[in-house]
């Protein structure tokens, strides 16, 4: 695992084990905890992800650092879009919707997420042929 990987794992651990008291902000950017159900195991799976609040929903990017395979959490929520989200200490249920590149509002939301994160997502997209989708998390 890379040094960054260890930092991200430590961040998620702190976020989870402090009940959101620590971890909402990482590198000056807000992060949430996304809890999905494993598509094969049925086990709870938690991932810390950077997000953008937009019109009462939360936007995350399924980038996996520009890897050619999608993140497991994306496959999990495609199988079961009912998820849990934790932002700081607030926990809520949400419904996840995958927004592909040709989807409505994709360009605006991609631009906002990319700008907020120093152009990172454009670099990730340039490193893979896999179209990187956005995921909209709508509280239910």
Domain ranges for the chain, please list them.
3-139
| 13 close to 26: Cβ distance less than 8 angstroms | no
Predicted pLDDT at 27: 66
CATH class of the region 3-139: mainly beta
Tell me what pLDDT residue 2 has: 67
pLDDT value at position 48? Answer: 93
Does the reported pTM lie above 0.85? Answer: yes
Range 69-73 contact pairs with CB under 8 angstroms and sequence separation of 24 or more: 69/130, 70/130, 71/47, 72/45, 73/34, 73/36, 73/45, 73/47, 73/49
Q: Which helix (H) or strand (E) holds 107?
A: helix 106-116
């Amino acid at each position: 695992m890379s040094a960054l990987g260890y930092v991200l794992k430590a961040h998620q651990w702190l976020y989870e084990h402090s009940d959101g008291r620590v971890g909402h902000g990482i590198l000056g950017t807000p992060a949430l905890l996304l809890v999905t159900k494993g598509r094969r195991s049925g086990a709870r799976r938690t991932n810390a992800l950077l997000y953008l609040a937009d019109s009462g929903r939360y936007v995350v990017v399924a980038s996996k650092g520009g890897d050619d395979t999608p993140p497991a959490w994306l496959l999990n929520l495609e199988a079961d879009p009912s998820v849990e989200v934790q932002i700081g200490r607030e926990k809520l249920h949400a419904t996840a919707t995958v927004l592909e590149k040709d989807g409505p509002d994709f360009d605006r939301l991609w631009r906002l997420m990319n700008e907020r994160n120093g152009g990172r997502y454009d670099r990730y997209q340039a490193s893979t042929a896999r179209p990187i989708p956005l995921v909209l998390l709508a509280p239910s």
